[in-house]
Amino acid sequence: MSSWHSRRLVLDPDLLRMARSRLGLSQTAFAEEINTALKSSGQDSRCTKRLVQKWESGEHDLPVPRYQKVLEQVTGRPFELLCLARPVGVDTPALRTLRELDEIATDLGLLMQRLDKVAGDMARSAS
């Protein structure tokens, strides 16, 4: 097992993607939300869909501090909860389980939306 000193805080692409998905935002809409938050705090807004893609692919593993703060605002989560203190490239059983549970939650959310639509269609056709 690695010592704590050999670990560093890195943005976890999957955790960021999960947070964005839970908000129901596309990468473009997520970038727009980040830009809105930056503008409201008087900062230049330069977040793009491409930057979000880089975060979610792991190409940029630690956003600059101004983006860290805005990611907290947009996702409603402390930045550290979007990160893992781990050696880069390590995939743990707990993280795999978290990803699987998130996929199940997303599937259930989509199923509930479909059921609501079907129930609405049925109610309209019954009246």
Alpha carbon 83 to its chain's center: 11
pLDDT value of residue 2: 37
Least confident of 8-12, 74-78, 107-111, 121-125: 107-111
Give the model confidence (pLDDT) of 10-62 as tens digits. Answer: 888 989 999 999 999 999 999 999 999 999 999 988 899 999 999 999 898 88
Q: Is the dihedral angle over the CA atoms 28, 70, 23, 12 positive or is it negative?
A: positive
How far apart are the C-alpha atoms of 93 and 7, rounded to whole Å?
Answer: 18
How far apart are the C-alpha atoms of 75 and 85, rounded to whole Å?
Answer: 19
What angle, rounded to 10 degrees, do the helices at 49-57 and 13-22 form? 130
